[in-house]
Structure 1
Amino acid sequence: MRHSDVPIRASILLGLPALITRLGGHGDEFLAAYGFDEELTAQSDAFVSLRQMERLLEEAARRFEVPDLGLRMAAQQDLQILGPLAIALENSCTVGDALECTSRFLYVFSPGLSQEVIPDPLGNPDVLAIRYASTTGTASPQSVDYGLGMVHRVVTLVNGGGFYGLRSVQLPHPPLAPEAVYRAHFGAEVAFDSALACLRLPRHLLNVRVSGGNELLRDIAVDYLESHFGHGEVPVADLVTAILAGQQGPDRPDLAKVARILNLHPRTLQRSLAAEGVGFKDLVDLVRRDQVRKLITTTHLSFSQIAVQVGLREQSSLTRAVRRWFGTSPSRLRRAASDPP
């Protein structure tokens, strides 16, 4: 599986054809041009390509001149697009339980998405943050707006539909629409070009009871999720490879960080990879080899810069690795790529 093929439930596109039609287009024809069938979005067990879905959102926003498309999509959704996960969320005891459940089982909706509660990135001890991210290491701006907007929508709904005390929002890209549109959507200040995509909220919110929650129904839903779904449905090695490929530089994820992104214990991740006949270091080496070949043959970066880019400590390490992978030196590999056939 290439990272462009990581799946996401087709329900993510619910309401998009109608929205496009209201904007003056033909929603069903627009989806069909990308290989999507509007009827597919209503099927509870249908999946589409995550990367193709992101391209669809970006093109729709551009073509129909609606820069806040992701926010509009989030505002019109309810929990039911999450499929079986929705029952567990609606019947959680507290908001904190609902967030923990989402972190555990978001892969049921898509193995390409991740959500976790983290310490406040601004250092306030009375504040926590809900971090939303793509496990592929990349995400389009519209899909980030849609995803974090959905997190905001879910927290609002499990909190009874009212304001839950959102302190501020951080987004990793420049504003796609006027900043006032973002403030109106979230009801809070929004910071752009941040390191993370996250919602900052009061710590005490985790203990707020979910109105109408039924512990028995929640336990039944969790048992169903645990027994019917698993990371085994998507090769774990493919997910790890996608994460590593999307994280270049000296601070690329180690085993513990990748396990956290996938909501797995590091030993569980190791066992899952072993069951597929591969080790974590093997995948690191595979991804690094592909990145080195591309950087050497398609860029003019110095070899020391390339070494840093792929997480090697020094240029001599790069030279040894290139000889092991390709049986030649970095300079000869670059020269061979530039020589005419």
Structure 2
Amino acid sequence: MSVIRSAGLRGFRATVAELGGDAEEFARTVGLPIAALDADDLLISDEAVATVLELAAHRLARPDLGLRIAYRQDLDMLGPLALAIRNSPTLADVLECTSRYLFVHARSLSLTLEPDPYGDRGVIGLRYGVPPGRVNPVQGTDLGLGFVHRAIQRLAGDRYGLRSVELPYRPAAPLSAYEEFFGVPVRMNRPAALLRVPSGLADTPLSGGDRNLHRLAMAFLAEQTDEAGASLVPQIAATLRQLLGTTPPEIGVVAALLAMHPRTVQRRLAAEGTTFAAILDDVRRHEARRYLVTTDMPMSQIASLIGLSEQATFTRSARRWWDTTPTAVRRDGVR
């Protein structure tokens, strides 16, 4: 299973409501947590996201749904990658950091430069999509291409020189909807999804950026890579924080999200002197205290949010963690 940050669904709820639909009903149908409709940092199945977009487009009879949602999205949905992009000195730096670190937002997506498919030396292709061998989902690809197009417009200007748009399918929506959105000719049934742009576009300088912020953002993104020698503990902990309350925090689920085998996870954690269970317990303890001292949530709700089935289990855990009750922690702010 490959995953995407739930920020990829920004605009889905509002667009569906505007069209008279129920976003929560669509989410339940495909097994997406309702919280993913309003939060940015949950890790959710990219297949489920593609499916909910196709389902909504079909049920609402709006084959241009992906383009409609793209109007509502902005760079901020990319999280730390957005900071690097906004502070890049040139568009070439934007493309470089995006192609290198788009996986932080969505593990199965890529954005790459390639020669113009028609051999025009003054044009390059900006290719967007899934790995070779996987089918490009129509609504998901429309949304992604639309987002990339609008992001470049914000950075380089509305008329940045887009020549044409290539689609790897024949869309159900009329081509006029695409040509109105992109403002250029759109070709169907092409080998890949891409934007054909001027080859000199990458050299376009961007104003308003901060080179120091760009450097810091790039350094942070570098820490997110799955280098063989990097500690696995922070990655496991971060993944568990995103799963709690929405998906069972099991080692098999976490390993799949990190594209690793569960035994590999266990072996690497053992080499670091810890276990999956110990990390899960520590994450639950930190999250429980945060909810207790910063919210007025009922104890049963907190128990559910940290992945415990019963309030009694939460109470026993609190005694083990802090040698007191959850109520006392809320009252006294026990660490």
Give the alignment's TM-score, normalised by structure 1.
0.65
The residue that corresponds to 1:143 in the other structure is: 140
1:172 paired to 2:172: no
Map 1:289-300 to 2 at 5 A. none
Map 1:1-341 to 2 at 5 A. 5-135=1-131, 137-160=134-157, 162-230=158-226
Partner Cα separation in structure 1 for residue 107 and residue 188 of structure 2? 26
SS at match of 1:103: helix
Partner Cα separation in structure 1 for residue 78 and residue 176 of structure 2? 29
The aligned amino acid for 1:144 is T
Judging changes above 3 Å, is the alpha-carbon distance between structure 1 residues 239 and 168 closer, same or farther for their aligned structure 2 residues? Answer: farther
* Most deviating of 14-23 and 64-73: 14-23
Deviations 1:267-295 (A, max 9, x none): xxxxxxxx9xxxxxxxxxxxxxxxxxxxx
SS at match of 1:80: helix
Partner Cα separation in structure 1 for residue 56 and residue 36 of structure 2? 18
The Cα shift of 1:149 comes to 1.3
Deviations 1:94-147 (A, max 9, x none): 111101110000110111101101111110111111011202622211111111
Q: Is the 8 A contact 1:159 1:211 kept in 2?
A: no
The aligned amino acid for 1:204 is G
Judging changes above 3 Å, is the alpha-carbon distance between structure 1 residues 238 and 228 closer, same or farther for their aligned structure 2 residues? Answer: closer
Would you say how many aligned residue pairs link Structure 1 and Structure 2?
237
Judging changes above 3 Å, is the alpha-carbon distance between structure 1 residues 18 and 225 closer, same or farther for their aligned structure 2 residues? Answer: same
Partner Cα separation in structure 1 for residue 97 and residue 153 of structure 2? 16
The aligned amino acid for 2:59 is R
The Cα shift of 1:24 comes to 1.1
Q: Is the 8 A contact 1:12 1:41 kept in 2?
A: no
Q: Is the 8 A contact 2:136 2:168 kept in 1?
A: no
SS at match of 1:169: strand
SS at match of 1:117: strand
Using the aligned pairs only, state the percent identity.
39
The Cα shift of 1:44 comes to 3.7
Judging changes above 3 Å, is the alpha-carbon distance between structure 1 residues 32 and 235 closer, same or farther for their aligned structure 2 residues? Answer: closer
Deviations 1:147-188 (A, max 9, x none): 11111122112214x221100010000032111110011111
SS at match of 2:189: coil
The Cα shift of 1:42 comes to 3.9
The residue that corresponds to 2:248 in the other structure is: none
Judging changes above 3 Å, is the alpha-carbon distance between structure 1 residues 97 and 109 closer, same or farther for their aligned structure 2 residues? Answer: same
The Cα shift of 1:238 comes to 8.9
Which blocks of at least 5 consecutive residues in structure 2 are unaligned? 229-234, 236-253, 261-267, 269-335
SS at match of 2:102: helix
SS at match of 2:107: coil
Give the alignment's TM-score, normalised by structure 2.
0.66
Judging changes above 3 Å, is the alpha-carbon distance between structure 1 residues 236 and 60 closer, same or farther for their aligned structure 2 residues? Answer: closer
SS at match of 2:114: strand
Q: Is the 8 A contact 2:12 2:37 kept in 1?
A: no
Q: Is the 8 A contact 1:107 1:113 kept in 2?
A: yes
The Cα shift of 1:29 comes to 2.7
Deviations 1:5-64 (A, max 9, x none): 200111111121121111112222322333334433443431110111111111110000
Which blocks of at least 5 consecutive residues in structure 1 are unaligned? 241-274, 276-341
The residue that corresponds to 2:311 in the other structure is: none
SS at match of 2:125: strand
Judging changes above 3 Å, is the alpha-carbon distance between structure 1 residues 122 and 225 closer, same or farther for their aligned structure 2 residues? Answer: same
Judging changes above 3 Å, is the alpha-carbon distance between structure 1 residues 93 and 17 closer, same or farther for their aligned structure 2 residues? Answer: same
Judging changes above 3 Å, is the alpha-carbon distance between structure 1 residues 32 and 82 closer, same or farther for their aligned structure 2 residues? Answer: same
Q: Is the 8 A contact 2:9 2:36 kept in 1?
A: no
Partner Cα separation in structure 2 for residue 25 and residue 40 of structure 1? 17
Judging changes above 3 Å, is the alpha-carbon distance between structure 1 residues 235 and 196 closer, same or farther for their aligned structure 2 residues? Answer: farther
Partner Cα separation in structure 2 for residue 38 and residue 166 of structure 1? 37
SS at match of 1:101: helix
Partner Cα separation in structure 1 for residue 159 and residue 226 of structure 2? 34
Q: Is the 8 A contact 1:148 1:198 kept in 2?
A: yes
The aligned amino acid for 1:146 is L
Q: Is the 8 A contact 1:7 1:50 kept in 2?
A: yes
The residue that corresponds to 1:323 in the other structure is: none
